Amino acid sequence: MNRCLFLPLLLGTTVLWPRITATGDCETGDMPPEGPRGREKRYWAWNTFFVEEELNVTRQPFGWLRSDLHNGSKSLKYSISGDGAGSIFFVNATTGVLYVTQKLDREKQACYFLKAQVIDITTGKPVEPESEFVVRVMDINDNAPTFLHEPYKAAVPEMAPEGTFVFQVTASDADDPSSNNNARLVYSVISGQPYFSIEPTTGVIRTSSKMDRELVDAYWVIVQAKDRIGLPGALSGTTRVLVTLSDVNDNKPTFKKSLYSMNVSESTPAGASIGIITAHDKDIGVNAEMDYSIADDASQTFGIVTDNETQEGIVILKKKVDFEHQNYYRFRAQVRNRHVDKRLLGHHTPASTTLVRVQVADEDEPPAFLQPRYTFQVPEGSPRGAPVGSVSALDPDHRRAPVRYSITSGSAFQIYDNGTIVTAGPLDRETSAWCNLSITAREIGNAEQASEVPVYVQVLNVNDHAPEFPEYYETYVCEKASSGQVVQTISAVDRDDSIEDQHFYFNLSMEDSKNSTFTITDNQDNTAVILTNRTGFSLQEEPVFYITILIADNGTPSLTSTNTLTIRVCDCDDSGSPQICSAKEMLLMESRTDIVIAVLTCAVIILGFIFTLLVLRQRRKQPLFAEKGKDFKERIIRYADEGEGQEDAQALATGEPRGSPVRRARRPRKAPPAGLRGPSWQVGPDDAVIKEFILEKLAEANTDPFAPPFDSLRTYAFEGTGSSAGSLSSLESAASGEGEHFDCLQDLEPPFTRSACVFGSATQSET
């Protein structure tokens, strides 16, 4: 029988607890609610009951319920309720003995909370309040330690000092740590010595010696966790930790070979690859990255470039080699780590070296000029065949093949077999100051071997151009200009190129210097001013002046040019701006004035004619003129034109047309003399009648296809009607030549361009 059954009896406990507090795991269990507070009379007497886990029993007593109210009467019985009551735990209703009928597992449930009560069988009602008690499951060491979050991986730098932290492992045990140390664990390393150690209570793994990654790059460490601190019946669990050594740059690269041999042709262009060298580094990653270089003077001819993917050194040619100059090269190449841990390798980066041997192969090369370019000078105007300069090219090969020269571009020059360049004709610097040539040198035995060189020929200046006006000057002088007035500022240009600054000298010619109309003043700054040397000019008398100016330069030899400056005389306004600058413009202005006067005069005459006509019509109603066929005759005495002999004279005398019906073209009119300008008509009462008569005759003449072929103005002296003095002439007198009257028109306005004296006859008077 369990010792818990008689524990309350041995203690002689008569006090009942409203609640029994459990320890350990029971502290976290579901506790029943507390009873009413205050002091109450209790009738139960017991303590906590214990049951060992994992007991293989069918009905095992483990305790005894006892109440002072139960006096052994068969009408009273014990009853339990709560965790496991009726399934795991049972009570003898008469004696109060408690039984357990199943195997218990503390790791699943450590405490059971039940309630006990005495019930009256007859009434079925409790005779007292229920009371609580606890059944605690006692722990046994039935669980081994287990590790969490397996598998474990860790990394530590190689060559790490002793005691370097690597990793911490943690195991757990489901048993009660307060019961016989069933859950107190101790760690130890089963496999991994002597490189690793572990702290027994914390599970921290540390290094116990230095390790080289290049020898072993990873280790498996087996760790054990054991409970009960080594007591009998202890259980244990193990786990594995993979410890990887991270690389440290503790190795320098080394070459695989001590000598590398390579070949290169002298025709190989610069920048080409000629071979590969290889170094090896035991480190990995960035610690294995390396840089190659040349350790001696050969770095001017060769170079080494690192291939970052393969970590190989590519030997390149930095400049072309010449077999005739050097056919063999030998130099040392070196390699270093790109990233160095100075704490491990010191302040100086260690380097490995190897020997590289390069053999140069001979090639047939084209001729080589002694200079990369040539520059020569030749004076302009040099005759054909004048020497310019000489070029020279040699075959660099051992056989020294002869060379022939030719000019690829530049037709103004020729070249001889010895490389001498001469002119093919005169050169003009003003046309081209520089000539660019291309000279080709070819081997006579092998025309494919050729090379070119640029040649620059500067054409030197010779003073062969005289200075001249830079532009055409529009120069004028006002009629009212005073003496000493500036007319024009002139300058000069010279197409020649002077070594020194160009300077020009200005003077008037010998003839113009004697003329006192204008003078010239040299400003000594390559400009000069033209000044008037008198007061007043006349547009009609002297409309234009031509001044000859001599301009000399400071070249060697000095050249002088003759330049003509045209100065026009203009009629200017008050501000000095030109208005009229030629005689034609002046004549046109005067003609326009005469036309205006003539138009005004005609207007006055027409108004007078209209007024007179109105007066005469009211006085009498009779025709102004007789019939054209009755006693009327006209006759032109003289006209200013060349005739055609007797035929023209007869036609003019009789008024009859010439035999030819074809009308001849009229000759162009000339300007009338200045003395013939001005109106000549007299104003009178019959002027309107005469004007109408003349216009009618002009209309007939214009429509007559047989009119004489000359330009003339037919005018008629008509006395008019109603004259009190009677007729001044008659048809008879006209026939006898007596009483002839001449009206000479001397001032004709344009478009009439000829003067004429007209004989006028009057009609017979009717008075």
Rounded Cα gap, residues 692 and 611, in angstroms: 14
Q: What's the farthest any 2 CA atoms get from each other in the chain?
A: 212
Residue 447 is predicted with a pLDDT of 85
CB 111 within 8 A of CB 134: yes
* Tens-place pLDDT, residues 148-197: 888 899 999 999 999 999 999 999 888 777 777 777 888 999 999 899 99
pLDDT in tens, 238-250: 999 999 999 888 8
Amino acid identity, residue 365? E
Angle in degrees, CA 380, 553, 513, rounded to 5: 140
Cα dihedral 581, 583, 587, 592, rounded to 10, equals -10
What is the DSSP secondary structure assignment for residue 757, as one 8-state letter? Answer: E
**How far does CA 326 lie from the centroid of its chain?**
49
Instruction: Indicate the range of 273-277, 421-425, 583-587, 696-700 predicted with least confidence.
Output: 583-587
Mean pLDDT over each residue of the chain, to the nearest integer: 76
Question: Could you tell me what percent of the chain has a pLDDT over 70?
Answer: 72
Single out the residue of 551, 577, 580, 548 nearest to residue 564, CA to CA: 548
Which pair of structure tokens corresponds to residue 611? 């007024």
Contact 22, 136 (CB under 8 A): yes
DSSP per position, 627-696 = -TTSS---EEEEESS---THHHHHHHHH-PPPS--SPPPPPPPPPPPGGG-S--PPP-TTHHHHHHHHHH
DSSP code for 445? S
- Is the pLDDT higher at 105 or at 118? 118
Identity of the residue numbered 607: L
Instruction: Report the distance separating Cα 83 and Cα 87, nearest Å.
Output: 9
The mean-pLDDT minimum among 69-83, 250-264, 322-336, 742-756 falls in 742-756
Residue 290: band (very low, low, confident or very high) from pLDDT cuts 50, 70, 90: very high
Q: Regarding beta strands 578-580 and 146-147, do their DSSP bridges make them parallel or antiparallel, or are they unpaired?
A: unpaired
Q: What is the residue whose two structure tokens read 């498996």?
A: 220
Q: How far is CA 618 from its chain centroid?
A: 98
Q: How far apart are CA 333 and CA 304, in angstroms?
A: 8
**pLDDT given for residue 707 in this prediction:** 59
Q: Which secondary structure element, helix H or strand E, spans residue 441, and what is its range?
A: strand 434-443
Banded pLDDT at 452 (limits 50, 70, 90): very high
Question: In the prediction, which pLDDT does 694 show?
Answer: 79
For residues 760 and 259, give the distance between their C-alpha atoms in angstroms, rounded to a whole number. Answer: 140
Spatial neighbors of 694 by CB under 8 A, at least 6 apart, are 714, 715, 716
Rounded distance, CA 713 to CA 708, Å?
12
Q: How far apart are CA 99 and CA 84, in angstroms?
A: 11
Residues in contact with 240: Cβ distance below 8 Å, sequence separation at least 6, in sequence order: 150, 151, 152, 220, 221, 222, 223
Alpha-carbon span 420 to 414, nearest angstrom: 8
Q: How far apart are CA 26 and CA 247, in angstroms?
A: 53
* Predicted pLDDT at 31: 45
Q: How far is Cα of residue 249 from the mean position of the Cα atoms in its chain?
A: 47
Q: DSSP character for 283? A: S
- Which run of H or of E encompasses 607? helix 583-619
Burial class (CB in 10 A: 0-12, 13-18, 19+), 289: middle
Rounded to two decimals, what is the model's pTM? Answer: 0.42
Q: Is 383 exposed, middle or buried (0-12, 13-18, 19+ CB in 10 A)?
A: exposed
Q: Region of 28 please: left (phi>0), alpha (psi -120 to 50) or beta.
A: alpha
Q: Which of 245, 240, 214 is nearest to 225 (CA)?
A: 240
Alpha-carbon distance of 183 to 236, in angstroms, equals 10
Buried b (16+ CB within 10 A) or exposed e, 315-339: bebeeebebeeeeebebebbbbbbe
d(CA 171, CA 147): 4
Judge whether 128 and 43 are in contact, CB under 8 Å.
Answer: yes
Mean pLDDT of 324-340: 90
**Neighbour tally for 364: CB within 10 Å:** 15
Domains annotated for the chain, with CATH where assigned, are 3-138 (2.60.40.60), 146-246 (2.60.40.60), 254-361 (2.60.40.60), 368-460 (2.60.40.60), 475-581 (2.60.40.60), 625-760 (no CATH)
Q: Which of 125, 126, 115 is nearest to 34 (CA)?
A: 115
* Per-residue pLDDT at 743: 42
Helix, strand or coil, per DSSP, at residue 755: coil
**Least trusted range by pLDDT, from 207-216, 227-236, 573-582, 587-596:** 587-596
Q: How confident is the model at residue 216 (pLDDT cuts 50, 70, 90)?
A: very high
Distance CA 145, CA 182 (A): 10
User: Which of 175, 190, 95 shows the shortest CA–CA distance to 137?
Assistant: 175
Query: 223 pLDDT band (50/70/90 cuts)?
Result: very high
Q: What is the 3-state secondary structure (H, E, C) of 203-269?
A: CEEEECCCCCCCCCCEEEEEEEEECHHHCCCCCEEEEEEEEEEECCCCCCCEECCCEEEEEEECCCC
Highest mean pLDDT among 444-448, 502-506, 528-532: 528-532
Q: Where are the beta strands (DSSP E) in 342-383?
A: 351-361, 368-369, 374-379
pLDDT in tens, 347-367: 456 789 999 999 999 888 889
**Residue 372 pLDDT level (bands cut at 50, 70, 90):** very high
Contact 517, 533 (CB under 8 A): yes
State yes or no: pLDDT of 330 exceeds 80: yes
Which residue, among 51, 48, 44, 59, has the nearest Cα to 91 in the 3D structure?
A: 59
Distances 361 to 320, 577, 745 between C-alpha atoms, Å: 12, 88, 116
First to last CA, the chain: 202
How confident is the model at residue 339, as a pLDDT?
85
pLDDT digits (tens, 9 = 90+) for 666-708: 344 444 433 333 333 444 445 666 777 778 777 777 776 655 5
Confidence of residue 523 (pLDDT cuts 50, 70, 90): very high
Compute the average pLDDT of residues 228-237: 80
